[in-house]
Structure 1
């Protein structure tokens, strides 16, 4: 069960980082990228917040994985 939670946390981190890149692409090129009419906001502030969330979530998943595996 612990491994499942760690995988979910790591997937959330990757999803945040992908959303960061989509937001930057929307901002710089004016594209309307998203899924099923849910457009990612094209704001640099949003991109930075999402990047920070992604990095924190990924780091948390990494350290939890190391703690559980030892």
Structure 2
């Protein structure tokens, strides 16, 4: 058996594992956050995901900084 199919299986299982952990994290957040703060918390979580993805993709046009500034509002 070549290494490529094994790498593909490992990558697929890692993606499922990450999705599972993210689902548990989302469930924990929904349980911990009062309803009044739920929408801002979801926005913050979404922005953390988006900005980390943009930074991981080496966005150099300032998009990440703009998004961070846009959502740097104090909800509390």
Structure 2-normalised TM-score?
A: 0.39
Structure with the larger RCO, 1 or 2 (CA within 8 Å, 6+ apart) = 1
- Of Structure 1 and Structure 2, the greater strand share is in 1
Structure 1-normalised TM-score?
A: 0.42
